[in-house]
Amino acid sequence: MKRLSIVIIGSLNMDMVVRTSRAPNAGETLFGQGFALSPGGKGANQAAAAARLGADVQMIGRVGRDTFGSELLEVMRKEHINTEHIGQSETQTTGVASIVVDGEGENRIIVVPGANIEMGPADIAALEPVISQAEIVVMQLETDLAMCVHAAAVAHRHGIPVILNPAPARELDDEFLQHVTYLTPNETEAGILAGIAVNSVAEAEQAAHILLQKGVQNVIVTLGSKGALIVNKEGSLHIPGFPVQAVDTVAAGDSFNGALAWQLTQGKTLAEAARFANAVGALAVGKQGAIPSLPYLPEVEQFLQDAAGR
Protein backbone atom coordinates (compact mmCIF):
# COMPACT_ATOMS: atom_id res chain seq x y z
CA MET A 1 0.00 0.00 0.00
CA LYS A 2 1.08 3.58 -0.64
CA ARG A 3 2.29 5.22 2.55
CA LEU A 4 0.25 8.35 3.25
CA SER A 5 2.09 11.47 4.34
CA ILE A 6 -0.18 12.72 7.13
CA VAL A 7 -3.34 11.27 8.69
CA ILE A 8 -5.24 13.83 10.74
CA ILE A 9 -7.88 12.55 13.14
CA GLY A 10 -10.00 15.36 14.47
CA SER A 11 -12.77 17.87 14.45
CA LEU A 12 -14.58 19.72 11.69
CA ASN A 13 -16.63 22.73 12.80
CA MET A 14 -18.33 25.72 11.28
CA ASP A 15 -16.96 28.81 13.03
CA MET A 16 -19.38 31.64 13.80
CA VAL A 17 -17.08 34.61 14.28
CA VAL A 18 -18.16 37.89 15.89
CA ARG A 19 -15.76 40.86 15.94
CA THR A 20 -16.00 43.43 18.70
CA SER A 21 -13.74 45.99 20.38
CA ARG A 22 -13.75 43.92 23.58
CA ALA A 23 -15.46 40.86 24.97
CA PRO A 24 -18.68 41.59 26.92
CA ASN A 25 -18.85 41.23 30.68
CA ALA A 26 -21.50 39.03 32.30
CA GLY A 27 -24.96 40.44 31.58
CA GLU A 28 -23.60 43.05 29.19
CA THR A 29 -24.64 43.58 25.57
CA LEU A 30 -22.22 45.12 23.08
CA PHE A 31 -22.42 46.09 19.43
CA GLY A 32 -20.05 44.15 17.21
CA GLN A 33 -18.20 45.29 14.11
CA GLY A 34 -18.65 42.19 11.98
CA PHE A 35 -19.86 38.61 11.65
CA ALA A 36 -18.72 35.75 9.45
CA LEU A 37 -19.23 32.03 8.98
CA SER A 38 -15.88 30.35 8.45
CA PRO A 39 -15.00 26.66 8.01
CA GLY A 40 -12.83 25.42 10.85
CA GLY A 41 -12.43 22.96 13.68
CA LYS A 42 -8.97 22.10 14.93
CA GLY A 43 -8.71 18.95 12.84
CA ALA A 44 -9.87 20.64 9.63
CA ASN A 45 -7.61 23.64 10.26
CA GLN A 46 -4.55 21.45 10.77
CA ALA A 47 -5.38 19.37 7.71
CA ALA A 48 -5.75 22.48 5.55
CA ALA A 49 -2.55 24.00 6.97
CA ALA A 50 -0.54 20.94 5.96
CA ALA A 51 -2.27 20.56 2.59
CA ARG A 52 -1.61 24.18 1.60
CA LEU A 53 2.10 23.55 2.17
CA GLY A 54 2.03 20.58 -0.20
CA ALA A 55 1.35 17.63 2.10
CA ASP A 56 -0.63 14.54 1.13
CA VAL A 57 -3.34 14.65 3.82
CA GLN A 58 -6.05 12.16 4.76
CA MET A 59 -8.70 13.43 7.19
CA ILE A 60 -10.60 11.18 9.60
CA GLY A 61 -13.62 12.81 11.21
CA ARG A 62 -17.36 13.26 11.13
CA VAL A 63 -19.87 15.96 10.20
CA GLY A 64 -23.66 16.14 10.28
CA ARG A 65 -25.89 15.48 7.32
CA ASP A 66 -26.72 19.18 7.11
CA THR A 67 -25.75 22.36 5.29
CA PHE A 68 -22.67 23.04 7.43
CA GLY A 69 -21.50 19.45 6.94
CA SER A 70 -21.85 19.66 3.17
CA GLU A 71 -19.97 22.97 3.13
CA LEU A 72 -17.12 21.56 5.21
CA LEU A 73 -16.77 18.52 2.97
CA GLU A 74 -16.62 20.78 -0.07
CA VAL A 75 -13.98 22.98 1.57
CA MET A 76 -11.83 19.95 2.41
CA ARG A 77 -12.03 18.73 -1.18
CA LYS A 78 -11.08 22.17 -2.49
CA GLU A 79 -8.02 22.05 -0.22
CA HIS A 80 -7.06 18.74 -1.90
CA ILE A 81 -7.58 16.75 1.31
CA ASN A 82 -8.69 13.12 1.06
CA THR A 83 -12.22 13.05 2.53
CA GLU A 84 -12.91 9.33 2.07
CA HIS A 85 -13.02 8.79 5.83
CA ILE A 86 -15.02 11.85 6.84
CA GLY A 87 -18.37 10.31 7.76
CA GLN A 88 -21.79 11.95 7.99
CA SER A 89 -23.86 11.44 11.13
CA GLU A 90 -27.54 10.54 10.88
CA THR A 91 -28.32 11.84 14.38
CA GLN A 92 -25.88 14.65 15.26
CA THR A 93 -25.50 18.08 13.71
CA THR A 94 -22.16 19.37 12.45
CA GLY A 95 -19.97 20.84 15.17
CA VAL A 96 -19.98 24.61 15.59
CA ALA A 97 -17.73 27.09 17.36
CA SER A 98 -18.85 30.49 18.63
CA ILE A 99 -15.84 32.80 18.48
CA VAL A 100 -15.54 36.35 19.81
CA VAL A 101 -12.50 38.22 18.47
CA ASP A 102 -11.60 41.46 20.29
CA GLY A 103 -9.77 44.54 19.09
CA GLU A 104 -6.39 43.04 20.02
CA GLY A 105 -6.99 39.96 17.87
CA GLU A 106 -7.43 37.71 20.91
CA ASN A 107 -10.26 35.18 20.81
CA ARG A 108 -12.71 33.51 23.18
CA ILE A 109 -14.24 30.28 21.88
CA ILE A 110 -17.17 28.03 22.82
CA VAL A 111 -17.33 24.73 20.90
CA VAL A 112 -20.46 22.58 20.49
CA PRO A 113 -18.87 19.36 19.15
CA GLY A 114 -21.97 17.69 17.67
CA ALA A 115 -20.99 14.94 15.23
CA ASN A 116 -17.33 15.23 16.19
CA ILE A 117 -17.85 13.22 19.37
CA GLU A 118 -19.77 10.44 17.62
CA MET A 119 -16.60 8.68 16.47
CA GLY A 120 -15.34 6.13 18.97
CA PRO A 121 -12.69 3.41 19.38
CA ALA A 122 -14.62 1.01 17.12
CA ASP A 123 -14.36 3.48 14.25
CA ILE A 124 -10.60 3.71 14.76
CA ALA A 125 -10.30 -0.08 14.85
CA ALA A 126 -12.00 -0.22 11.45
CA LEU A 127 -9.55 2.37 10.12
CA GLU A 128 -6.39 0.70 11.44
CA PRO A 129 -5.23 -0.12 7.86
CA VAL A 130 -5.31 3.62 7.07
CA ILE A 131 -3.55 4.69 10.27
CA SER A 132 -0.88 2.01 9.89
CA GLN A 133 0.15 3.48 6.52
CA ALA A 134 0.65 7.05 7.76
CA GLU A 135 4.01 8.75 8.00
CA ILE A 136 2.67 10.72 10.94
CA VAL A 137 -0.67 10.94 12.79
CA VAL A 138 -1.99 14.25 14.13
CA MET A 139 -4.75 14.55 16.75
CA GLN A 140 -6.40 17.15 18.98
CA LEU A 141 -8.95 16.88 21.81
CA GLU A 142 -12.16 18.29 20.27
CA THR A 143 -13.30 14.69 19.72
CA ASP A 144 -14.10 11.69 21.93
CA LEU A 145 -11.18 11.13 24.31
CA ALA A 146 -11.46 7.32 24.27
CA MET A 147 -11.21 7.46 20.48
CA CYS A 148 -8.04 9.56 20.70
CA VAL A 149 -6.49 7.18 23.24
CA HIS A 150 -7.21 4.19 21.00
CA ALA A 151 -5.90 5.96 17.89
CA ALA A 152 -2.62 6.81 19.63
CA ALA A 153 -2.25 3.20 20.76
CA VAL A 154 -2.87 1.92 17.21
CA ALA A 155 -0.32 4.32 15.75
CA HIS A 156 2.20 3.42 18.44
CA ARG A 157 1.74 -0.30 17.75
CA HIS A 158 2.62 0.30 14.10
CA GLY A 159 5.57 2.57 14.90
CA ILE A 160 3.85 5.68 13.51
CA PRO A 161 4.83 9.00 15.17
CA VAL A 162 1.94 10.84 16.86
CA ILE A 163 1.55 14.60 17.22
CA LEU A 164 -1.00 15.44 19.93
CA ASN A 165 -2.20 19.02 20.18
CA PRO A 166 -3.85 18.82 23.64
CA ALA A 167 -6.60 21.37 23.03
CA PRO A 168 -9.05 22.00 24.54
CA ALA A 169 -6.92 21.27 27.62
CA ARG A 170 -7.86 18.44 29.94
CA GLU A 171 -6.04 16.01 32.21
CA LEU A 172 -4.67 12.98 30.36
CA ASP A 173 -3.60 9.55 31.60
CA ASP A 174 0.08 8.67 31.51
CA GLU A 175 -0.69 5.63 29.34
CA PHE A 176 -2.04 7.95 26.64
CA LEU A 177 0.94 10.30 26.90
CA GLN A 178 3.36 7.38 26.57
CA HIS A 179 2.08 6.88 23.01
CA VAL A 180 2.68 10.54 22.07
CA THR A 181 5.82 11.37 20.10
CA TYR A 182 5.29 15.14 19.91
CA LEU A 183 3.08 16.99 22.41
CA THR A 184 2.29 20.58 21.38
CA PRO A 185 0.53 22.44 24.21
CA ASN A 186 0.39 26.18 24.61
CA GLU A 187 1.40 27.61 27.99
CA THR A 188 -2.05 27.20 29.54
CA GLU A 189 -2.41 23.62 28.29
CA ALA A 190 1.10 22.71 29.46
CA GLY A 191 0.24 23.95 32.94
CA ILE A 192 -3.01 21.98 33.10
CA LEU A 193 -1.33 18.76 31.89
CA ALA A 194 1.61 19.14 34.27
CA GLY A 195 -0.43 20.37 37.22
CA ILE A 196 1.53 23.61 37.72
CA ALA A 197 1.08 27.28 36.90
CA VAL A 198 2.84 28.36 33.71
CA ASN A 199 3.38 32.09 33.31
CA SER A 200 6.92 32.22 31.91
CA VAL A 201 9.29 30.37 29.61
CA ALA A 202 11.07 28.94 32.66
CA GLU A 203 7.80 27.56 34.04
CA ALA A 204 6.94 26.19 30.58
CA GLU A 205 10.23 24.29 30.64
CA GLN A 206 9.44 22.96 34.12
CA ALA A 207 6.03 21.75 32.94
CA ALA A 208 7.60 20.13 29.89
CA HIS A 209 10.01 18.15 32.06
CA ILE A 210 7.07 16.86 34.12
CA LEU A 211 5.38 15.73 30.89
CA LEU A 212 8.57 13.98 29.74
CA GLN A 213 8.50 12.03 32.99
CA LYS A 214 4.95 10.94 32.13
CA GLY A 215 6.24 9.32 28.94
CA VAL A 216 6.01 11.95 26.18
CA GLN A 217 9.06 11.82 23.89
CA ASN A 218 9.14 15.49 22.83
CA VAL A 219 7.29 18.50 24.22
CA ILE A 220 6.96 21.61 22.05
CA VAL A 221 5.33 24.40 24.05
CA THR A 222 3.94 27.12 21.78
CA LEU A 223 4.55 30.57 23.26
CA GLY A 224 2.62 32.86 20.92
CA SER A 225 4.78 35.75 19.72
CA LYS A 226 7.69 34.39 21.78
CA GLY A 227 7.94 31.33 19.51
CA ALA A 228 8.22 27.78 20.80
CA LEU A 229 10.14 25.82 23.41
CA ILE A 230 11.39 22.31 22.56
CA VAL A 231 12.11 20.02 25.50
CA ASN A 232 13.25 16.39 25.21
CA LYS A 233 15.93 14.08 26.59
CA GLU A 234 18.58 16.04 24.66
CA GLY A 235 17.72 19.20 26.59
CA SER A 236 15.77 22.43 25.97
CA LEU A 237 15.83 24.78 23.01
CA HIS A 238 13.94 28.03 22.58
CA ILE A 239 12.95 28.74 18.96
CA PRO A 240 12.21 32.49 18.68
CA GLY A 241 9.01 33.69 17.06
CA PHE A 242 8.47 36.33 14.38
CA PRO A 243 7.09 39.71 15.49
CA VAL A 244 3.90 40.50 13.56
CA GLN A 245 0.74 42.53 14.15
CA ALA A 246 -1.96 40.01 15.12
CA VAL A 247 -5.33 40.47 13.42
CA ASP A 248 -6.93 37.15 14.43
CA THR A 249 -5.31 34.36 16.48
CA VAL A 250 -8.05 31.77 15.84
CA ALA A 251 -5.93 29.29 13.83
CA ALA A 252 -2.49 30.17 15.17
CA GLY A 253 -1.90 26.90 17.01
CA ASP A 254 -3.53 24.81 14.29
CA SER A 255 -1.35 26.33 11.57
CA PHE A 256 1.71 25.57 13.72
CA ASN A 257 0.72 21.92 14.12
CA GLY A 258 -0.09 21.36 10.46
CA ALA A 259 3.21 22.92 9.44
CA LEU A 260 5.17 20.98 12.05
CA ALA A 261 3.72 17.69 10.79
CA TRP A 262 4.56 18.51 7.17
CA GLN A 263 8.11 19.55 8.00
CA LEU A 264 8.75 16.37 9.99
CA THR A 265 7.58 14.24 7.05
CA GLN A 266 10.08 16.17 4.91
CA GLY A 267 12.94 14.94 7.09
CA LYS A 268 13.57 18.24 8.87
CA THR A 269 14.98 18.32 12.39
CA LEU A 270 12.55 19.24 15.15
CA ALA A 271 14.24 22.64 15.54
CA GLU A 272 13.98 23.34 11.80
CA ALA A 273 10.36 22.19 11.77
CA ALA A 274 9.44 24.39 14.74
CA ARG A 275 11.06 27.48 13.20
CA PHE A 276 9.15 26.92 9.96
CA ALA A 277 5.93 26.33 11.92
CA ASN A 278 6.51 29.59 13.82
CA ALA A 279 6.61 31.39 10.47
CA VAL A 280 3.39 29.74 9.33
CA GLY A 281 1.71 30.75 12.60
CA ALA A 282 2.93 34.34 12.25
CA LEU A 283 1.42 34.56 8.77
CA ALA A 284 -1.86 33.01 9.91
CA VAL A 285 -2.46 35.55 12.70
CA GLY A 286 -2.06 38.36 10.19
CA LYS A 287 -5.32 37.42 8.42
CA GLN A 288 -8.91 36.94 9.51
CA GLY A 289 -10.60 33.55 9.79
CA ALA A 290 -9.36 30.02 10.39
CA ILE A 291 -8.80 28.14 7.12
CA PRO A 292 -8.91 31.36 5.03
CA SER A 293 -5.92 32.68 7.02
CA LEU A 294 -3.63 29.71 6.34
CA PRO A 295 -0.63 30.49 4.09
CA TYR A 296 0.62 28.60 1.04
CA LEU A 297 4.21 27.42 0.74
CA PRO A 298 5.49 30.30 -1.48
CA GLU A 299 4.21 32.84 1.09
CA VAL A 300 6.08 31.08 3.90
CA GLU A 301 9.29 30.78 1.89
CA GLN A 302 9.16 34.51 1.01
CA PHE A 303 8.42 35.40 4.64
CA LEU A 304 11.43 33.40 5.87
CA GLN A 305 13.62 34.93 3.16
CA ASP A 306 12.56 38.43 4.15
CA ALA A 307 13.10 37.66 7.85
CA ALA A 308 16.61 36.38 7.11
CA GLY A 309 17.40 39.64 5.31
CA ARG A 310 16.37 41.85 8.21
The predicted-structure confidence for 45-84, as pLDDT tens digits, reads as follows: 999 999 999 999 999 999 999 999 999 999 999 999 999 9
pLDDT of residue 309: 73
- Average model confidence (pLDDT) across the chain: 93
Mean pLDDT confidence for 139-145: 95
pLDDT of residue 190: 96
Domain ranges of the chain: 5-10+43-92+116-309
3-state secondary structure 120-133: CHHHHHHCHHHHCC
Task: Extract long-range pairs of 240-243: CB within 8 Å, 24+ residues apart.
Answer: 240/278, 241/278, 241/281, 241/282, 242/278, 242/279, 242/282, 242/303, 242/307
Give the residue numbers of the binding site: 13-15, 41-45, 142, 186, 222-227, 248, 250, 253-254, 278, 284, 287, 289, 293
Give the residue numbers of the binding site for ATP: 186, 222-227, 253-254, 278
168 upstream amide cis, omega within 30 of 0 = yes
Query: Does the active-site annotation cover 173?
Result: no
- DSSP string over 243-283: ----S--TTHHHHHHHHHHHHHHTT--HHHHHHHHHHHHHH
pLDDT of residue 3: 55
The superfamily (CATH) of domain 5-10+43-92+116-309 is Ribokinase (3.40.1190.20)
pLDDT of residue 1: 46
pTM of the model: 0.92
pLDDT of residue 17: 87
Mean pLDDT confidence for 213-236: 95
Give the rounded distance of the alpha carbon of 226 from its chain centre: 18
Question: Of 56, 123, 144, 254, which residue is the catalytic one?
Answer: 254
∠ CA 263-296-37 to the nearest 5 degrees?
115
The predicted-structure confidence for 159-200, as pLDDT tens digits, reads as follows: 999 999 999 888 899 999 999 999 999 999 999 999 999 999
Mean pLDDT confidence for 3-25: 90
Query: Using an 8 Å Cβ cutoff, are 38 and 170 in contact?
Result: no
pLDDT band at 307 (very low <50, low <70, confident <90, very high): confident
CA 22/CA 32 separation, integer angstroms:
9
